[in-house]
Amino acid sequence: MNIEGNSGGRLDLAGKHIVLGLTGGVACFKAAELARSLIKAGATVQVVMTQAAEQFITAVTMQALSSRNVYTSQWDARESNNMAHINLTRDADAVLVAPASADFMAKLVHGRADDLLSLLCLARPVASCALLLAPAMNREMWAHPATQRNVAQLRADGAVLLGPASGDQACGEVGDGRMLEAQELLDELIAFFQPKALLGKRVLLTAGPTFEAIDPVRGMTNLSSGKMGFAIARAAAEAGAQVTLVAGPVHLDTPRGVRRIDVMSAQQMFDAVLPLAPASHVFVATAAVADWRVAKAAAHKIKKKAGAAVPALELEENPDILAAVARLKPPPYCVGFAAESENLVQHAREKLQRKNLPLIVANIGPATFGSDLNSLTLIDTNGTRELARADKLTLARELVREIAARTAHVST
């Protein structure tokens, strides 16, 4: 089900209650945007701050953004039983500490609990309330052996670390230790709660158009934006798969956790896909691959000359990537895409049979190229099933669930 808010965006965290913990660090300024983002995604947010965090951002700010009282002290008497460290996590789905300082992570490793945030992390019901940490510190602090030992122990104890990233730091240095941005943390949290239906599976995808050169400055391409393929790559990664995305020329950010290979032409896409396909469990061919290319691209720009005949372009057929992967012995589970302009089901079914595929996904190309919305028709030998019009990530998640159900028997 696609639950939408007033802005039309997905409420991916609807029904989730998040305790957002802040420890001391300049990255506290990102927590303000993070709180807003979590709430816009449908979550309720309870902010808990350490004394050090209050040196960087005020409780007043976080209360205004979360619409809830902010807790800063283990001695807070507003709780009827004076046990905020117990009460605050009993209805929570996760504690997200962002930023998580080196000192706070060291405290968690040793089970120290001398403030409210460390207390509630220790006292949370582990089976129902996850602990996620977004480290934020100087690059030397992050690289220090003591910090790395603590990171390893925290992971062994069940904590999930989100980041850190590499980049400019408040101290003027550059390197690992920078806290992820609010949108990145939101995406990570959303992914954390997605069912891991493809855990252990290797998924290979193609996405976007291809570009076939005519000369050094011109070429043949199509209107595919790559958005559907990138959404499927994200959804597969959220579902626990190891994802490789072979992308034609598009201007899209790589989904977190996805390995990306950029190509231009159909031949380059073929050359990138074929060596990877035998080790993949699933191959999803969303790319709008050009059927033909210019047989002999000009070495220099073809100049227009007055009175001269229009140059003739001799075309030759490109390799069929999907058919080649489907012919492997054994093949991965192959999902084709058919972007048609008419007779959608008929043309898609012909493609399904011609390439001997278990599943093909069809849509009207001109109605979806470049759009954030889509509607899909799933076609196999047993019939058709419509996926109602929705945003592409919602459809991608539904398609991934379908693929997971169909490949559940495939050994990892």
Q: Which residues are catalytic?
A: 171
Q: At what angle do helices 227-238 and 182-193 cross, to 10 degrees?
A: 60
Contact 124/83 with Cβ under 8 angstroms? no
Nearest to 204 by CA among 226, 237, 228, 227: 237
Reading phi first (left if > 0) and then psi (alpha if -120 to 50, else beta), residue 145 is in alpha
Query: How many angstroms separate the CA atoms of 147 and 102, rounded?
Result: 7
Contact 218/234 with Cβ under 8 angstroms? no
Length of the chain: 412
Longest dimension (CA), the chain: 92
Give Cα 225 distance to the centre of its chain. Answer: 17
Query: How many angstroms separate the CA atoms of 160 and 144, rounded?
Result: 20
Task: Give the tokens for residue 18.
Answer: 């998040």
Query: How many angstroms separate the CA atoms of 26 and 136, rounded?
Result: 8
Residue type, 42: G
Contact 173/139 with Cβ under 8 angstroms? yes
Nearest to 16 by CA among 84, 80, 94, 78: 94
φ, ψ of residue 64 to 5 degrees: the values are -65, -40
Contact 224/248 with Cβ under 8 angstroms? yes
Q: How far is CA 317 from CA 289, 292, 320, in A?
A: 11, 4, 9
Q: Where are the beta strands (DSSP E) in 44-119?
A: 44-49, 94-100
Query: How many angstroms separate the CA atoms of 245 and 229, rounded?
Result: 8
Query: How many angstroms separate the CA atoms of 209 and 296, rounded?
Result: 21
Query: How open is the CA angle 367-371-376, to the nearest 5 degrees?
Result: 55
